[in-house]
Each structure stands twice: as C-alpha cells, then as structure tokens.
C-alpha cells in the first residue's frame, strides 16, 4: 500500500471517530470514568481501590486504565477553555462562521466526554495498524495480497468498534491494541517488547487474560532459562511500577499481584448475562449465575484444554495459534456467565488475523461484527427507534439470534478443525 493512502485512511478514520464522539456518550463515562479521574486528581492514587463511587461501587479496572482516563481528563480540562476561546474568535472575526458550532460545543460536558473517549479512538487506530502489520507479516513471503489492506479498513471503519469507542466511550479496545502488537513483536522475536506490551494489556483490562494460554503456547518453544528470567522480571517491574502509587503498604507495593487479582475477580453483578446475547441469556434470562457459574467455567475450561491439545503440534505456527484463540474467544463469550455485550470485541481482531489461514474466518468476522452491533444497539439504542429497540430485546427474537450464533460457532469449530487437518 502506498504511504499516502495508508495515512489518508488513518486520518479519515480518526477524524470521523472524533466527529462522532461529540454526539453521544454512554453513562459509564459520566458515572464511573470521570469520577475515577477526579478522585485521583483531588485525593491522589493511594487507597483508590477502597473508595466508593456510583451506587456504592468500587473501581474494577486495573491502574493503567485509571492513569489513561485521568491523563485525558486533565488534558481536556486544560484545553476546553482555549478551544472554546478559539472558536469564539473565529465566530467574531469571520461573519460566515456558523455560530451554531459555539452553541453546540458549549453544551454541558460535551467536550470533556470527548476528551475522555479520545484514548479509545487512538486505540482503534493502533489496533487497525497492528492488525495490518501482523497480517502482512503472517502472509507467505513474496505473496501479493490485498488482505492487509482489507484488514486495515475492516478495523479502522468497523461500525461496531466505532460505536463501542467513539460513541459508547468504552475502553475495551485499549488492551486489544496492546495484545495485537504484543503478538506482532512476539513473531518478530522482540521478546522483551512483546512481554512488556502483554503486561500493559493486562494492566489495562483483565478481560484479555484469556489470551495468555495461546501467547504462552507460541512462546514456549522460544523460552530459555535466560528468557524466562527476563520475562518474569519485565512483568514484575511493570506491575510494581504501575501499581506503586496505588498501594498503601510496603508489602503491597512489592507484591501488587494480590491487588490485581482482587480487582480482576470483582464483578458488578452475579447475573448469568449482563445483556450479552449468549447461551445463558437464552436459557435463563435475568437469573443469577450462582447455580451455573461453575458449570460454565468447567465447559469453557474443557474446551480450552481441547483447543490447546489440538494446537500443540502446530504451536510454532502463529496463524494456527491465533485461529485457535479466535475460536476459543467466541466460545467463551457464548458459554461464560456474567458476560457483557462488549466482551465480544475480543473476537474481532483475531478472526480477522486468522483469515490469513483461511478466508472463511473473514466471513465469520463479518457475521460477528453484525451480531455485536445488534447486541450493542439492543443494550443502548441511541437512535431511539422504538420498533428496533423493542424487537431486538424481545426474548423470542433474542433466542433466534443466539441460536444462529450457536450454529455459527459450530460451523466455525468445524472450519477450524479442517485447517488443522490440512496442516497435517
């Protein structure tokens, strides 16, 4: 791809997402993210995870994400007044300047919400670029293919990722961007950078932990005593450094993993499904998961063991490893309890990358994008079309969607199994 086109696509995506970020924002930004940032600014980081916020909840995101939200909130607070002054200058200087822009930008909290969403938009860009370079790297040498460009466009202008980040304001893309680049550097044998990026992903949001078995599966043959020691030191120092300001005691500062696990295991609800259109939303909508959570974990754990077993002989092939990861990520979304609708985000980049192995995975990527968008819209119908909102939340329609998803999962597993046989 020509550099001009490459940067034009990036600039177009960034501009479009930034434009959209002004129009709608989901409640989490105002109810959680901004109060978390303000708390750090006013009181400091020490003891942050013991503070109570909206409806008596405590923060349940790791500290790197708290840093990011705080930095962009501070940046927004510092720049809002100069930005408004600049547009006011344009309004008073040029008669043709539309005054409605001033009124629009001066709406309460509009600009600060957009600033807090800015890291999500940047993460979308870095995710797209990371997928582009990783797909390019995984293609056979001297192969002329449009797949890297297709992959780049499929992320940069993906409607559900834009919905999730630029409109909704959720941060799920940030750890995904770190993960994809971690795999890129792992394949390039830049192990220290890769491990560091993996650590940053885990410190952004704990939901990406399901990637670790597949990361280690590919890494295992490259491990030496020296590399194991270096990797453990990198992980340890990264965790200690990021957690250090948040910890109260010297012991907690030196051993932050206990604090990490405490936050990672914190759930905001014990419902079988947090509006995720998965198996449990069909079987027991609105129920608590106390009776089935262990069963769900056993099912997913057994499937993980099967996938890793089938991948073992092909563990040196990153295309195979990532295809297995994409199938497992989808299986986890469908069968784990307490899943949010946005947890489906993790399957998208990996199915896209897996299309290097078999282009059928790209069509699964398309289906999951549409399915994800439907699930997101049902949870937050920002266009306010009552017919769509009511229809997509009606249990019979939800059941049909989930059954279709289960059928796609079954076909995906079959397609993945065929790629393993073809490899042999």
Average pLDDT over residues 405-412: 97
CA pair distance 368, 401, nearest whole angstrom: 11
Question: Is pLDDT at 369 greater than 90 in this prediction?
Answer: yes
pLDDT in tens, 114-155: 999 999 999 999 999 999 999 999 998 877 889 999 999 999
Tokens of 20: 């959209």
* pLDDT tens by residue, 156-192: 999 999 999 999 999 999 999 999 999 999 999 999 9
Distance CA 302, CA 239 (A): 30
Given a cut of 80, whether residue 253 has pLDDT beyond it is yes
Phi, psi of 411 (to 5 degrees): -65, -35
Report whether pLDDT(199) > 70. yes
Q: Output the pTM of the full model.
A: 0.93
d(CA 162, CA 164): 5
Spell out the domain ranges in the chain.
Answer: 269-424
Write out pLDDT tens, residues 86-116: 888 888 888 788 888 887 887 778 889 999 9
Q: Which tokens go with 251?
A: 């012991």
């Amino acid at each position: 791809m020509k550099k001009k086109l490459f940067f034009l696509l990036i600039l177009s995506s960034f501009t479009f997402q930034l434009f959209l970020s002004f129009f709608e924002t989901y409640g989490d930004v105002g109810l959680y993210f901004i109060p978390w940032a303000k708390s750090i600014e006013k009181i400091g980081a020490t003891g942050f995870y013991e503070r109570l916020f909206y409806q008596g909840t405590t923060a349940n995101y790791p500290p790197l994400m708290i840093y990011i939200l705080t930095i962009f909130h501070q940046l927004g607070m510092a720049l809002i007044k100069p930005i408004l002054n600049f547009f006011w200058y344009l309004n008073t200087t040029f008669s043709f300047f539309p005054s409605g822009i001033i009124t629009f930008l001066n709406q309460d909290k509009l600009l600060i919400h957009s600033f807090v969403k800015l890291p999500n938009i940047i993460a979308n860009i870095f995710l797209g670029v990371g997928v582009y370079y990783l797909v390019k790297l995984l293609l056979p040498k001297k192969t002329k293919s449009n797949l890297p460009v297709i992959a780049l466009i499929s992320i940069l202008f993906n409607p559900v990722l834009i919905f999730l980040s630029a409109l909704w304001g959720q941060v799920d893309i940030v750890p995904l961007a770190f993960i994809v680049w971690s795999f890129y550097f792992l394949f390039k044998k830049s192990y220290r950078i890769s491990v560091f990026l993996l650590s940053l992903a885990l410190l952004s949001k704990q939901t990406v932990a399901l990637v670790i078995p597949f990361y280690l599966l590919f890494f295992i043959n490259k491990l030496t005593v020296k590399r194991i020691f270096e990797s453990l030191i990198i992980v340890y120092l990264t965790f200690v450094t990021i957690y250090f300001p948040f910890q109260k005691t010297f012991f907690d500062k030196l051993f932050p993993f206990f604090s990490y696990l405490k936050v990672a295991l914190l759930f905001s609800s014990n419902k079988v499904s947090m509006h995720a259109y998965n198996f449990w939303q069909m079987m027991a909508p609105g129920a608590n998961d106390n009776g089935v959570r262990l069963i769900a974990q056993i099912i997913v754990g057994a499937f993980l063991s099967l996938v890793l077993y089938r991948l073992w002989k092909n563990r040196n092939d990153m295309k195979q490893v990532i295809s297995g990861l994409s199938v497992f990520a989808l299986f986890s979304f469908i069968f784990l309890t307490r899943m949010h609708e946005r947890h489906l985000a993790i399957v998208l980049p990996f199915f896209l990358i897996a299309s290097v192995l078999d282009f059928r995975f790209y069509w699964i990527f398309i289906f999951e994008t549409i399915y994800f968008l439907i699930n997101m819209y049902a949870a937050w119908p920002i266009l306010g079309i009552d017919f769509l909102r009511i229809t997509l939340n009606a249990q019979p329609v939800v059941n049909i969607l989930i059954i279709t998803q289960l059928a796609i999962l079954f076909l995906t597993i079959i397609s993945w199994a065929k790629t393993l046989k073809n490899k042999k």
